[in-house]
């Protein structure tokens, strides 16, 4: 949607998921795939605990990635609206009201590796997913995703991911090209008919004999990590984690590291990573599980995930506002993308909170197989040890 204030002034182009990613949206710098900042509407609905607060206090208290003065200016200029209307800074919000936040959106960068196509069939596409790239739009990622890149670079759409890989994990990703085919895969996975294989590079000499880890996995969303729980109860209380089982087989070792085949029987969050930690052989570059020290990621600002969380303000939606009128808006060209004077992330391409030093985990999906089908992905370079 385009909004023009006065004749002679430039147009503001607002985007939503209805705007497909294009090749020109990406900038490659210093080994990173960056996205040109763009204008976007984030929408949320007032929760019960938010009701009774002023619109400015709500944003300042709930979305702390921007300063208080920014939210004052955003309300006054119409960049924050309630039910599609400009309101005063003292406006008191009510439960379930729709609040919109119009932002100059900066997506976190990802590593600049290609999303290479492995097999292209009439109803299935398999690719080698690069580490650091999310599978599909989530949080602050929309264009910098496997689905977005495939649409921008190959015109492939729609795509339905059959399974997910963590953002920092690389390897085989299966995408159905029809909803019906995606449902077939889903039923097979739920029925336990799909066999999954990963490889990992771990610390130390992994035991030569097969290891089966069968302990519960409990994911803590606040900390952004999982832990294991053993036995029928934990401290006299019922276990919070979910049953999880992974089979591990050593492929090779050089005395310092080992390459391990990982075959998850279940599919819990960070299951392979935390089960390898449990064996005493964590993934060699997995900072989250190399020690038992818990890093509260809700308070840290050094990862792309954290950057994504603090820079949105609301959840993305496909809707637009026809009432956006930004009295203080100016735009200037700089380094191939536009600068917004109200934006708290400009003039940098990356959003605040992104440290820029992330690398891919040494965990790679190599094979999925099911009734009458097998899909595979080549080994990565780090897997060559003996």
pLDDT digits (tens, 9 = 90+) for 63-92: 988 999 999 999 999 999 999 999 999 999
Considering the domain boundaries, does residue 7 fall inside one?
yes
DSSP letter for 92, please: B
Considering the domain boundaries, does residue 38 fall inside one?
yes
Asked if 325 is an active-site residue, the reply is: no
Considering the domain boundaries, does residue 184 fall inside one?
no
Q: Which domain holds residue 10?
A: 2-109+304-339
Considering the domain boundaries, does residue 40 fall inside one?
yes
The confidence score (pLDDT) of residue 233 equals 53
Considering the domain boundaries, does residue 52 fall inside one?
yes
Q: Which helix (H) or strand (E) holds 75?
A: helix 68-77
Q: Is the pLDDT of residue 35 over 80?
A: yes
User: What CATH number should be reported for the domain holding residue 44?
Assistant: 3.10.290.10
Percent of the chain surpassing pLDDT 90: 70
Cα dihedral 263→268→273→278 (10° resolution): -90
Considering the domain boundaries, does residue 51 fall inside one?
yes
57, 123, 166, 340: the active-site residue: 166
Please, are residues 342 and 73 in contact by the beta-carbon 8 Å criterion? yes
Query: Which of 160-174, 252-266, 340-354 is least confident?
Result: 340-354
Considering the domain boundaries, does residue 97 fall inside one?
yes
Q: Which helix (H) or strand (E) holds 208?
A: none
Considering the domain boundaries, does residue 142 fall inside one?
no
Please, are residues 296 and 302 in contact by the beta-carbon 8 Å criterion? no
Query: How many domains does the chain fold into?
Result: 1
pLDDT digits (tens, 9 = 90+) for 167-201: 999 999 999 999 999 999 999 999 999 999 999 99
């Amino acid at each position: 949607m385009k909004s023009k204030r006065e004749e002679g002034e430039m147009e503001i182009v607002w985007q939503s998921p209805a705007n497909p990613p294009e090749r020109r949206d990406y900038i490659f710098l210093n080994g990173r795939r960056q996205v040109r900042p763009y204008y976007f509407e984030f929408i949320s609905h007032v929760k019960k605990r938010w009701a009774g607060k002023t619109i400015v206090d709500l944003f300042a208290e709930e979305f702390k990635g921007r300063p208080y003065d920014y939210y004052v200016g955003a309300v006054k200029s119409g960049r924050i609206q309630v039910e599609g209307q400009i309101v005063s800074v003292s406006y008191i919000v009510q439960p379930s009201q729709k609040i919109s936040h119009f932002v100059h959106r900066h997506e976190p960068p990802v590593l600049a590796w290609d999303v290479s196509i492995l097999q292209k069939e009439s109803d299935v596409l398999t690719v080698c997913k690069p580490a650091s790239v999310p599978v599909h739009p989530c949080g602050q990622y929309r264009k910098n995703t496997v689905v977005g890149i495939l649409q921008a670079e190959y015109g492939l759409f729609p795509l339905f991911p059959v399974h997910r890989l963590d953002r920092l994990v690389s390897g085989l990703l299966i995408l159905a090209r029809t909803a019906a085919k995606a449902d077939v895969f889903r039923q097979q996975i739920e029925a336990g008919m799909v066999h999954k294989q990963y490889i990992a590079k771990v610390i130390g000499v992994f035991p030569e004999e097969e290891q089966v880890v069968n302990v519960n996995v409990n994911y803590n969303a606040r900390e952004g990590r999982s832990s294991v729980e053993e036995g029928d109860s934990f401290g006299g209380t019922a276990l919070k984690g979910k049953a999880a089982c992974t089979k591990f087989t050593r492929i090779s070792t050089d005395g310092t590291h080992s390459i391990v085949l990982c075959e998850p029987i279940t599919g819990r969050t960070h299951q392979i990573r935390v089960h390898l930690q449990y064996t005493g052989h964590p993934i060699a570059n997995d900072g989250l599980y190399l020690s038992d020290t818990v890093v509260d990621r809700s308070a840290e600002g050094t990862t792309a995930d954290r950057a994504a969380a603090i820079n949105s303000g609301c959840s993305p939606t496909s809707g637009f506002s026809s009432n956006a009128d930004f009295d203080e808006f100016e735009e200037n060209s700089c380094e191939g993308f536009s600068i917004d004077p109200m934006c708290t992330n400009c003039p940098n391409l990356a959003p605040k909170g992104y440290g820029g030093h992330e690398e891919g985990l040494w965990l790679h999906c190599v094979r999925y197989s099911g009734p009458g089908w097998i899909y595979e992905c080549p080994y990565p370079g780090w897997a060559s040890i003996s």
